[in-house]
Amino acid sequence: MRFAMIIEYDGTDYSGWQRQKNGISVQQKIEEALEKLFIKKITIVGSGRTDKGVHAEGQVAHFDAETDLSEFKIKGSLNFFLPEDIKIREIKKVADDFHAQFDAKSKIYVFNTYISRVKSPLKSRYYVQIIPPLDIELMRESAKQIVGKHDFSSFSVKNGDTPSTTIRQISRIDIIEKGDTVIFEVEGPGFLYKMVRSIVGTLIWIGRGKLSPDCIERMFSSGDRALGGKTLAANGLVLKRVIYAEAPK
């Protein structure tokens, strides 16, 4: 039988979602907890990778196990075995052909920033500091150029992987002000390596007057990453939700 999990984690102390040789990953910690519960090795499949230092509120993963344990018992037991910075929010039995990665229709990421000339010790773990001034309306207008289907090679960073295509689609970019915080919410079916962090960095550079809004068109036409803004730090990025046609809720 197949189970799907909605997972929340603080990625600060992990090398990312995916198992790897040089570092402790979120996937590794969950698989270790599953092994303690079921007394056998179980591999989980996530909706996608999050990079080192990136957090998640709604990562989704599935695994297969034959058990008489209830979903409630499995969730409670796994959370007992897991560290405090990784927890299973929900778990449910799903169809045997459900696939956390291939069935995903869309993903929502948020990037958290705060505007201040003084660094905030309390926000530094989950927010990126932005030095004012910042033109929010100019950033919103500029973001409209990014929404849609484009070649996003100029909004990504090479990491050794070669994607089959660099064409991606952004469904929406919302920029939300809450006091001194500015939250960027980006939705799309899939993303390139560091793509969201590059998009937000470019919009912020525009908002601070370091770049002209027409840099976005030039980035798309040239594929030149150097024309854009800084790729922002991972700690501000959160995988908020993965959307499915029939999603785990």
Give me the pLDDT at residue 163, please: 82
- Closest-CA residue to 129 (of 57, 40, 236): 236
Residue type at 136 in one-letter notation = I
DSSP-derived secondary structure letter, 203? H
Nearest to 148 by CA among 165, 167, 175, 176: 167
- Give the pLDDT of residue 248: 56
State the Cα–Cα distance between residues 4 and 248, nearest whole angstrom.
7
pLDDT of residue 245: 87
Q: What is the pLDDT of residue 247?
A: 54
Which domains, from first to last, does the chain contain?
Answer: 2-102 (3.30.70.580), 105-242 (3.30.70.660)
Closest listed residue to residue 191, CA positions, set 160, 166, 219: 166
* Opening angle at CA 20, ends 55 and 83, nearest 5: 50
Number of C-beta neighbours around residue 70 at 10 A: 11
Give the residue numbers marked as catalytic.
51
- Residue ranges, the chain, pLDDT below 50: none
